[in-house]
Amino acid sequence: MSLSSLLLPAVLFFALGVIARLIKSDLRFPPDLAKVLSIYLLMAIGLHGGYELAKADIVVAFQSIIWALVLGFTLPIIGYLALVATRKVNPLDAAAISAHYGSVSAGTFLTAIAYLDNLSIQYETYPLIMLAVMESPAIVVGLILAAKARHSIAVRNGTNKTAVENSEEQGSFKEMLRDAFTNGSVVILIGSMIIGAVAAPSGMEKLKPFIDDIFMGVLCLFLFDMGMVAARRIGDFKKVGVLLAAFGVVMPLIGGIIGVYVGANMLDFSVGGATLVGVLGASASYIAVPPAMRLAIPEANPSFYLTLSLGITFPFNVIIGIPLYHSIAQAIVS
Amino acid sequence: MVSLYAEKMLNIISNDSLEEKLVCMFKKYGVNAYTIVQARGAGSSGDVSYMSGFDANIVVKVILPESKMQVILESIERKIKKGYHLTVYITDIEVITPEKFEKIAR
């Protein structure tokens, strides 16, 4: 891992955001800026990816979807078992936290693309489909784990739910499932990919300044803002404790290694493609999953999962994780 | 001089992800008028800065007649027991159009 790999403008802007916060600068971005930028980034990467995927192999695309589902359903279970084993959090907190680690962070994925582009490393576009697919399954797993945890607690306490409570719970479970598969990020990403795939090439050519030319600049701005957001959460480090904070570093390493292995050995991707699958396995959601968990597992403490995903795992992946998964991919592929 | 009429205002501070749930609850009990404002602050569930638009808070304000207040408070209490972080308080207010609030809550 060379120092030059960390000297990406996007990563440096992330560091600037963290520093601005730590030195208590009065710098403030408009409240919805990161949301607006993430919409742009997902749209641009979706259009770009859809255009490339139109020329792709349908069998590999299908295999990518299957492996994305496998990762999306497996990683939160690994995370849940690891968290429960620490005995530092209750099962409901463990379910909510692990859902974040089974889902993905588009910001981390895009930083990985910037990293690979900077090193002129080629990568397959299939991981983009995996990014869209992996947004939701972990939310479903989180809901199931939480339902099981609630049931065990109720049995232990000898409390039974009323028929009204059961029917309310089933209704909200259906709503949660619907929300998990129709959340904004999934709609933008899949919608843009379809548009990119079916749009006339001449029309796509006209979009080049929007999709390609300004992309890295917008990513810098996004990471600048996210650096400030992450730094706010670093202050909560003490609240989560050393063992949980260690989970925020160890879990992405486990997910990253599994992801790289899947990318390299199961999907036969190049070093670049395997790195991207590794990043998908390693990253933790901070946009789609937190609101879903607030609704689905209100008993869980939001400070835990927000601090872990935003304050620990996101900075770890952006600064250390991405070059590390790239090195692992190099080792496995070669 | 304009006449003033006493009413009660229900205020709920919550995370914005619960907005849809709260609105559904109001509609279920026949309340179709409410005001929602974005907010930031800190509390038992941690710091909610509204920084970057992620993890924002809201304050829901609704003027209710006594007849509707109790049933809605019971529904809110059930949500709090389920673990939802809701801060609820009621304020005495005075309005100049009392018929407006009776109508919306009917």
With a CB cutoff of 8 Å and minimum separation 6, the contacts of A28 are none
Residue of B14, B52, B55, B87 to mutate, testing the A interface (most A Cβ within 10 Å of its Cβ) = B52
Q: What is the DSSP letter of A182?
A: S
Residue B95's SS3 state is strand
Q: What is the pTM of this model?
A: 0.83
The ipTM, to two decimals, is 0.72
How does the average pLDDT of chain B come out, rounded? 85
| Average pLDDT of the residues in B75-92 | 92
Q: Averaging pLDDT over each range in A43-52, A66-75, A230-239, B55-64, which range is the top one?
A: A66-75
**In degrees rounded to 5, what are phi and psi of residue A161?**
-85, 150
Confidence of residue B106 (pLDDT cuts 50, 70, 90): very low
- Interchain pair A298, B50: CB under 8 A: no
How far apart (Å, rounded) are the C-alpha atoms in residues A108 and A56? 24
Tokens representing residue A110 in the block: 């895009």
A294 and B18 in contact (C-beta within 8 Å)?
yes
CA angle A256, A289, A147 (to 5 degrees): 100
Of the spans A89-93, A162-166, A241-245, A271-275, which averages the highest pLDDT? A271-275
For A28-70, write each residue's pLDDT tens digit.
888 778 888 888 988 998 898 888 888 888 899 999 999 999 9
Residues of B with CB under 8 A from a CB of A: 15-18, 21, 38, 45-47, 49-56, 79, 82-85
Helix (H), strand (E) at residue A179:
helix A163-181
Q: Decide if B57 contacts B15 (C-beta within 8 A).
A: yes
Q: How many domains does chain B have?
A: 1
Higher per-residue confidence, A29 vs A79: A79
- Give me the mean pLDDT over the A106-113 stretch: 92
Q: How far is CA A2 from CA A5, A13, A320, in A?
A: 6, 18, 11
Q: How large is the average pLDDT for residues A136-145? A: 88
CB A117 within 8 A of CB A281: no
Contacts of A294 in chain B (CB under 8 A): 15, 17-18
Q: How far is CA B85 from CA A67, A176, A288, B44, in A?
A: 37, 18, 19, 8
Contacts of A290 in chain B (CB under 8 A): 17, 54-55
Long-range CB contacts for residues A152-160, cutoff 8 Å, separation at least 24: A152/A91, A153/A91
8 Å CB contact between A96 and A142: yes
* pLDDT over 90, % of chain B: 45
Q: Cβ(B72)–Cβ(B26) under 8 Å?
A: yes
Structure-model confidence comparison of residues A105 and A152, the more confident one: A105
State the pLDDT confidence band at B50, using cuts at 50, 70 and 90: low
Q: What is the percent of chain A where pLDDT is above 70? A: 92
Cβ separation B55–A295 shorter than 8 A:
no
How far out from the chain centre does Cα A323 lie? 17
- B50: domain CATH number? 3.30.70.120
Short-list A183, A214, A195, CA closest to A46: A195
Fold of domain A3-22+29-333:
Na+/H+ antiporter like fold (1.20.1530)
Q: Identify which of A126, A123, A215 has the alpha carbon closest to the alpha carbon of residue A207.
A: A215
Residues 6+ apart with CB under 8 A from A147: A173
Question: Range of B57's domain?
Answer: 5-104
Q: Do B45 and A32 touch (CB under 8 A)?
A: no
Query: Encoding tokens for residue A152?
Result: 């065990």
Contact between B54 and A35 using a beta-carbon 8 Å cutoff:
yes
- Give the rounded distance of the alpha carbon of A174 from its chain centre: 23
Among A107-121, A127-141, A163-177, B27-41, name the one with the lowest average pLDDT.
A163-177
- Percentage of chain A modeled with pLDDT above 90: 41
The answer to whether the CB of B20 falls within 8 A of the CB of B36 is: no
